[in-house]
Structure 1
Amino acid sequence: MAEQTPTVQQLCDAAQAGDLAQVEEILAQNALLARQPITQNGQLAIQFAAREGYAEIVAALLAAGADPRRGVYPNRRATSALAYARTRGYSKIVALIEDFLARQPATEPATGPGPALFAAAAANDLDQALALLAADPTLADHPSHPLTVAAEKGFAEMVALLLDHGADPDAPEDLDLGDEGIYNNAGIPLWRAAKGNHYEVCQRLLAAGADPNAYVFASGPAAERAMENDNDAILDLIYSYGGHSFAVAAALCGRMAVPAEVMHLRPELASEILWGAALSGNVALVRLCYRYDMSGMDSFRTLYQPLRGRRGQAMHRYANGQGDEHADKVEILRLMLAQEADPKATDAKNMTLLHRLAGETSHWADEE
């Protein structure tokens, strides 16, 4: 162990196995691993230890800074280390965690010119923002991301002011994905402006150099938001600044023309377009996808899409009593199973489709 750099996965494996000595050895080399998930929405080592009832390991991880309140999407509070210990009756672990939380200092509200600029941007207080930026123009790129909140709210003049003082139009920030590395998450201002149908804000951001193809982590490109809103003006604007390769996004938003054209030109993209079509409930597009080669298809990922669905698209597709969402999901699953998708497939956490579906449809009293 001493000859190699330990990973989050190794720490989680040791915690789950109850190997206190190995946990302590790994933490001695890199205590920060206790705070890192296996993936962005994955678990911390303390969750494995708490679920298995290993109090000494929980204590070691708490001492290294692990968060006992962090859970896993979609039932975050129900899957935290504290929740696991409570539901399994591990009173010693519950006491350890509650004592740890009681000793944590109260969080003080952020103060200073950076938070003040964020507040001014959120309130569209141009005078206050200008005064703060005049004193320190670097605040335009403060980590609180005043540009993002101004873009989200559609405050075009505030966006222009921040851009004029040097704000990065993409507002990039690094996301720690644990063993998967660091993801440069850029493009959130444009994404939120498109989501809010703020055309002028989108125009200002793109003119200032915002990347029209930036892929916001777990959310997609801004063009996807424009398509989901049926806002062709913003979509055309994004294309006019160099936007491209939105076929999967179009499939996710229930559209037919662009995915169909792209598959004709690039058949190898059919499997990617398939999962988007299945998630959106587009039976016709799913059927079209299966005219192309689907060898090597990930059965779990593909079958999972119609099971979970896409709420925003469903509200649009089935508005005013049009169509039958349940019937469409069943037909999509039938098409997939007829093409030999494996119903017993598992994900990276060894969960079957039914396990995942149960987790996402369960209701907890303290669910976020």
Structure 2
Amino acid sequence: MSHHPPVRKLRPQPDLDQLKRQAKELLQAFLDGDPAAVTEVNAFFHGADPATFALHHAQLVFARSHGFESWPKLKAHVDGVTVQRLAGFVRAGDIRQVEAMLKVRPELANMQMSYGDEHRPLHFAVMNRQPEIARILMHCGADARAGIHPHRDATTAATLAAERGFDEIVAIIETEEQKRREALSGPDTAVTSVQDDLSSAIASGDESQAFAMFQADPSLTVASDRDGWTPLHTACAVRNPALVDWLLRHSASPNQPGKDGRTAFDLAAMGRRTIQPQQFTAVAGLLRQAGAELTPRAAAALGDVEWLSARHAEGRLQNPITWSSGGLLTLAVRHNQPEVLRLLLDFGFDPDERIRSGEGEQAAISQAFPLWHCAELGRLEMAEMLIARGANLNQHVDSSGSPVYSAFSHRQWAMVDLFTRYGGIVGPDTAAIYRRTDIARRLLEDETGGTLPEGVVSPGRSVAADLLEFGCSGGAPEIVRLALPHLDWPRDDPRWFRYLARSLDFWNHIPWLYAANQELDRGTYIDCFLQVLARCNPNIVGGFGRTVLHEVAAMGDHVTEEEAAPFARALLAAGAHTNPRDEILGSTPLGWACRWGRLEVARILLEHGADPIEPEAEAWARPRAWAEKMGHAGIVKLLVDRGA
């Protein structure tokens, strides 16, 4: 029997008395041997024994299944100690309330508002220029390098503070990050921000730069960067045998824990790059020779069923799942260890490896990691093993799609056949991105005829809406043409923003994307855009006050100047305004074009009346200020010629 531990979500305005009753019901069900209760308890409580399992244990399990560390944390959330309230006190500048909330739940300092809103309390402290609150949040573990979708690099708290010239907050961030490096590296190690540069060099594969930095400062071999990773951790994550060997011969500790307690061996197993077995075997051999202790992740990657079985027999084997990498089952798949996968499934581990992000009613669930990677890698035997144990073919791994999507996007056609035979569905997202008009038409017909299988679209969505979104993203004008008549939204409906913006993705032409199709026509995205634009107000506003014209000014580097320009012209011809300011960067579309270096878009905006000076703006948010600080000389000249 496969085990699927429930992942609970709180209802809006949860009632603590009701939650207490539910915890009591869980306790009684576990003591009665109810299979679902036993599964839930075993998933969240190690070594549960009915003879000693009490109410406080049941409350702990209940809290963890809701995504909270403990029952007191769950109770605090119900009592209003939430990240949303904390952010409200930050915006209000109420230091006393901020400190009081963080005393109860310090983890709120680094929590985003929700899955769909990546603002963190530190963002508000920076934008409101509140240095003392920024200091408090940093002291409690806030990450100043976490950005906000869809422009994360431009919207980290550290970047916002630096680009605004808030030097006092920049100093606070740097001081607190330095304290973290020192705490992680030990008392006798001199550490600086150079560690962060070294980590970047190793991660990017710049081996010569890394060795040059080690030669200049040998103490770097044992120092941690601001995230808690030593050079050995990073070298293992990219599976670089030469660097790993050198570091181990120069005092690097093979068992030093890093972030979340993960070791270098864990990172060698989990590294997100494509696994080259020879590289991993070489790195693993070097680590073991140096005395590295096995971990569950390392043992799963190495295929060490005896070690895993022994830990399970001792009651000490758990399955640590991360949002981006899955857990032990995913590692067994990625490292092609079918016997490990079979063993873990026999132990009762969740074949979908579900995990949540966030808490309360806004929590999001990601699942289906193992099967998604089976599809990616064409592991048919392991896929059938997972399906037989109840793995879900149509659930999604965060924003990476379902296992069926993975098979389709990786051109694993035998896997597509296997999945469809077992009920997997090529959904509207897959059909639209890959411009499969035949599948799109059939899905619309099934929805209209009432024969669409359950789960093909998310609750509250429709086939037409999904086809439109992903048809725009994938540059499929025929599919967009099919979908639009099924949507009767008014011109000012804010949902239109999402679909206009998706046409700017140029998804199939992102150079680094595994799922891209470079051979497809690049000229179709503007067609999709124009079709949607004809149905809506060009001044629709999206998240944090940005317009579609803002988004055109920040299109990805894989989109050329010549390709971006028609989108700006189309919006302006339809009546798009040039003066709205977004809520994070405080800038107009012209300001965005100056920040992101979109010379032609800037020129078009100026030709349509955009103010090159913007005297009413904050000094740091004016077009010329952006162009100068980002080093875009051509745009500076353009602005100067216009009187800026």
Same fold, judged at TM 0.5 (above): yes
Task: Say yes or no: does 1:190 pair with 2:366.
Answer: no
Percent sequence identity is: 28
1:239-290 per-residue CA deviation (whole Å, 9 max, x = no partner) reads 2223247233322332222221121232453122211111111111111112
The amino acid of 1:300's aligned partner reads F
Distance in 2 between residues matched to 1:262 and 1:286, nearest whole Å: 14
Letter in structure 2 aligned against 1:303: L
1:285 aligns with 2:467: no
Residue 291 of structure 1 aligns to a residue in which SS? helix
Structure 1 residues 31 and 121, CA, compared in 2 at 3 Å: closer, same or farther?
closer
Task: Output the amino acid matched with 1:130.
Answer: E
| Distance of aligned partners of 1:77 and 1:259 in 2 relative to their CA distance in 1, 3 Å threshold | closer
Which residue, out of 143, 164, 170, partners 2:320?
Answer: 143
Measured in 2, the distance between the counterparts of 1:273 and 1:168 equals 32
Asked if the contact 2:469/2:499 (under 8 Å) is kept, the reply is yes
What is the correspondence of 1:303-322 to structure 2 with a 5 Å cutoff? 303-311=500-508, 317-319=517-519, 322=520
Deviates more, 1:160-169 or 1:23-32: 23-32
Which of residues 70, 81, 86 is equivalent to 2:146? 70
Q: Which residue of 2 aligns with 1:301?
A: 498
Among residues 129, 134, 150, which one is paired with 2:305 in the alignment?
129
Residue 173 of structure 1 pairs with residue 368 of structure 2: no
Q: Identify the residue that residue 121 of structure 2 maps to in structure 1.
A: 45
1:184 is paired with a residue of what secondary structure? strand
Alignment map for 1:66-105 (pairs within 5 Å)? 66-73=142-149, 75-104=151-180, 105=183
Deviation per residue, 1:3-25 (Å, 9 max, x gap): 96154334334434544455445
C-alpha deviation, 1:160, in angstroms: 2.6
- Higher mean alpha-carbon deviation, 192-201 vs 210-219, is at 192-201
1:333 is the counterpart of 2:509: no
Q: C-alpha offsets along residues 202-224 of structure 1, whole Å, 9 cap, x if unaligned?
A: 22211222111222212221111
Change in 2 beyond 3 A, CA 1:264/1:139: farther
CA 1:165–1:83 in 2, change beyond 3 Å: closer, same or farther?
same
Letter in 1 for 2:348: G
SS at match of 1:236: helix
| CA distance in structure 2 between the partners assigned to 1:223 and 1:348 by the alignment | 30
Q: Which residue of 1 aligns with 2:18?
A: none
SS at match of 2:500: helix
Quote the offset at 1:195 in angstroms.
2.0
CA distance in 1, matches of 2:394, 2:171: 49
Mapped pair 1:35 → 2:35:
no
Q: How many Å apart are 1:312 and its aligned residue?
A: 6.5
- Choose from 511, 521, 537 the match for 1:342: 537
Residue deviations 1:21-74, cap 9 Å, x none? 554455456443322101236121112212332101112222333222322345
Q: Quick check: 1:346–1:353 contact (8 Å CA) kept in 2? A: yes
1:352 matches 2:428: no
Task: Write the distance in 2 (CA, Å) between the matches of 1:333 and 1:36.
Answer: 35
Q: For the residues of structure 2 that align with 1:347 and 1:26, how far apart are their CA atoms?
A: 31
Specify the code of the residue in structure 2 equivalent to 1:61. L
Deviates more, 1:186-195 or 1:285-294: 285-294
Q: 1:65 to 1:215 in 2, by over 3 A?
A: same
Read off the aligned partner of 2:435 and give its amino acid letter. Answer: G
Aligned residue for 1:307, secondary structure, equals coil
Counterpart selection for 1:234 from 404, 407, 415: 415
State the SS of the aligned residue for 2:486: coil
Contact 1:12 1:44 in 2 (8 A): yes
1:90 shift after superposition: 1.9
Structure 2: unaligned runs, 5 residues or longer: 1-77, 185-227, 229-255, 267-292, 322-326, 449-461, 557-595, 598-628, 631-644
Aligned partner letter, 1:333: F
Which structure ranks higher in relative contact order (CA pairs < 8 Å, sequence separation ≥ 6)? 1
Name the SS of the counterpart of 1:166 in structure 2: coil
Residue by residue over 1:83-137, the C-alpha shift from the partner in whole angstroms, topping out at 9 and shown as x without a partner, is: 2222222222122222212222214423599962311333xx22x3322323325
Residue 271 (structure 1) aligned with residue 457 (structure 2): no
2:508 and 2:518 in contact (8 A); partners too? no
Of 340, 344, 363, the residue aligned with 1:158 is: 340
**Cα distance per residue 1:291-347 (max 9 Å; x no partner):** 33432661111111111132468975441xx53x1x211111111122x22221122
Query: Which residue matches 2:387?
Result: 206
> Structure 1 residues 183 and 271, CA, compared in 2 at 3 Å: closer, same or farther?
closer
Residue in 2 that maps onto 1:220: 401
Of structures 1 and 2, the larger Rg is shown by 2
- Structure 2 Cα separation of the partners of residues 303 and 179 of structure 1: 31
Cα contact 1:140–1:163 (8 A) shared by 2: no
Contact 1:117–1:139, Cα closer than 8 Å, also in 2: no
Q: 1:248 to 1:74 in 2, by over 3 A?
A: closer
Q: Is the CA contact (8 Å cut-off) linking 1:170 and 1:211 kept in structure 2?
A: yes
Pick closer, same or farther for the CA change 1:222–1:318 going to 2, 3 Å. Answer: same
CA contact (8 A) 2:475 2:524 kept: yes
Counterpart Cα distance in 2 of 1:182 and 1:194:
27
Q: 1:119 aligns with which of 298, 301, 318?
A: 298
Aligned length: 354
Question: Which whole-Å CA distance do the structure 2 matches of 1:121 and 1:255 have between them?
Answer: 38
Q: Contact conserved, 2:509 with 2:518, CA < 8 A, in 1? A: no
SS in 1 for 2:356: strand
User: C-alpha distance in 2, partners of 1:287/1:279?
Assistant: 14
Secondary structure of the residue aligned to 1:43 is: coil
Relative to structure 1, the CA distance from residue 309 to residue 154 in structure 2 (aligned partners, 3 Å threshold; closer, same or farther) is farther
Partners of 1:21 and 1:346 in 2: CA distance: 35
Instruction: Tell me: CA distance 1:260–1:197, structure 2 relative to 1, closer, same or farther (3 Å).
Output: same
Secondary structure class of the residue paired with 1:215: coil
What is the rounded CA distance, in whole Å, between the counterparts of 2:103 and 2:310 in structure 1? 47
Structure 2 length-normalised TM: 0.50
Task: Give the distance between the partners of 2:387 and 2:403, measured in 1 at CA.
Answer: 11
Report if the CA contact (8 A) 2:504-2:555 is conserved. no
Between 347-356 and 68-77, report the one with greater CA deviation: 68-77
